Amino acid sequence: MKKISGAEAVIKSLINESVDVIFGYPGGAIMPVYDELYKFENEIHHILVRHEQGATHAAQGYARSSGKVGVAIATSGPGATNLVTGIADAQIDSTPMVCITGQVASYLLGSDAFQETDIIGISTPVTKWNYQITKASEIAEIFAKAFYIARSGRPGPVLIDITKDAQFEMLDKFEYKKCNNVRSYKSIPKIDSNSLSDAADLVNNAKKPFIVWGQGVILGNAEKEFLNFIEKSGIPSAWTILGLSAIPTDHPLNVGMLGMHGNYGPNKLTNECDLLIAIGMRFDDRVTGDLNNYAKQAKIIHFEIDPAEINKNVEVDIAVLGDVKETLSKILPKIKNNKHKSWLDKFRKLNQIEFIKVIDKEYNKNSGGISMAEVIKSINNNTDGNSILVTDVGQHQMIACRYTKFNLSKSNITSGGLGTMGFALPAALGAKIGDNKREVIAVIGDGGFQMTIQELGTIFQTRAAVKIVILNNDFLGMVRQWQQLFFDKRYASTELVNPDFVTISKGYFIESKRVDSRDELEISVKEMLNFDGPFLLEVCVEKEENVFPMIPSGSSVSEIRLE
């Protein structure tokens, strides 16, 4: 049998895991792997990003749109540390990703060699698992284990660090066996039939039940089971921003968005329901507000795959542990057909108040500066709810999540838990590569866009037909809103003096256009969407627009403000 190098074993391991795309940036300590990658370019497509952070965000976007494991690769030292923000983002948002970093030779470890960094120590708090390979014989087993851990149970990022000598070392034999089990790691907890029966009793006897769902429904591929559950039980249901798109936006039992900038009805009525059913969500502080005043009147059921999330933030009455696709299937026969018309009407009445006081003024504005909601409305008018939306972090993120219409799952890709500015541009590239058949629209603020603006070069080189919408208000808008409301309008370091984004885009040979008039908006959005290739549309929006409703930090969900 022909001997192969450790570097070739890395590539063959990726091929065995059906990896066909990786995002990365070469360097000295990972060069042997890149040399082998060159030889396998017909089997694995490498996308050269312009910064290693872009590699992780692109891998995240790829994973979220395709449902596969995203892969990022970088060299040692600064290459590895530049991955950390994206790894932390993937960890808190449960995105399956395998990151591969080169490392100095094993005999140099601990010597402060050129570009040596303890990436294992640095990444331990933000990875699901990590491992340093120092011998080529470890490669196949560790890669198999890494992909299994990344994709199984509650998904997450894994990092493999490989010393340079392990990449050069020759192997007499390479044999790859996929991993389906790791001792002491239980990816899916065993379902307790008693918890299902107890939960069903609470559901069947509740007068004012309320469902809050998160990304767990999407990660568990449980959209059908979830829809069956809410339709049979007739329970009003609201989403976290990562749960958005699991069911169509206009479904009659979909009562809107939870959290700091969520809809009026679901936030207000959280503290009036008699049963709160949490499905695949983690009771993040942006959703719960003040925990001392969160749903204290209600019984709480928590459907969850990760035992660590049970009672972490909110004490629950019944924990239904297990894969949500299976637990929802098993509880469905125990649930009675029901309708909660008068209770559902309360959500609709409160949301109608929000429509009159907030939504109509933003979404159907016809004078003054362009609102962010008008831009989303125009996108809705021209995509029929079938596109993938990728958002950065800030006011535009909240507006886009509030107003975008979705018909298909895996359509909303954003940085939820970490709130990473700079996420959207590379993530949109990855999302387009992950699902090339769907339109991918990145909605980005002028601040976040400049954090990873260099990835325009990657989009140009790949010709990925990403549509980029910059909502430009010449401010770090979300921070400015807080400064206006809570710091007496002291706009400390939030006003931006921006470059000419259109000229920069043209410098990357990407078609672009600026809109500063309402009359130009609709036709410009159509032009962007009809263009065959990447397109950047800068929309100059109202400078000091605020996002409402809003729950002030530290307040109860009941204290949500409409103005």
- CA–CA separation, 388 and 466 (whole Å): 10
The angle, 0 to 180 degrees and rounded to 10, between the axes of the packed helices 518-530 and 372-383 is 40
- Among candidates 227, 233, 181, 183, which has minimal Cα distance to 203? 233
Total residues found in the chain within this entry? 563
Helix (H, G, I), strand (E, B) or coil at 193: helix
Q: Is the peptide bond before 549 cis (omega within 30 degrees of 0)?
A: yes
Catalytic residues: 52, 114-115, 164, 478
- CA–CA separation, 6 and 32 (whole Å): 9
The pairing of strands 412-414 and 440-445 is: unpaired
- The encoded tokens of residue 435 equal 């699902």
State the alpha helices, DSSP H only, in 476-532. 477-486, 501-507, 518-530
Maximum CA pair distance of the chain? 75
- The encoded tokens of residue 459 equal 């989009």
Helix (H, G, I), strand (E, B) or coil at 426: helix
- CA–CA separation, 217 and 237 (whole Å): 13
**Exposure of 189 by Cβ count < 10 A (0-12 exposed, 13-18 middle, 19+ buried)?**
middle
- Residues in Cβ contact with 500 at an 8 Å cutoff, skipping those fewer than 6 apart: none
519 phi, psi to nearest 5 deg:
-65, -25
- CA–CA separation, 548 and 383 (whole Å): 25
- CA–CA separation, 391 and 215 (whole Å): 16
For residue 344, the surrounding DSSP H or E stretch is: helix 341-354
CA 228 to mean position of chain CA atoms: 25
How does DSSP assign 109-153, residue by residue? TTTT-TT---HHHHHGGG-SEEEEE-SGGGHHHHHHHHHHHHHSS
User: CA triplet 411, 414, 419: central angle to 5 degrees?
Assistant: 165
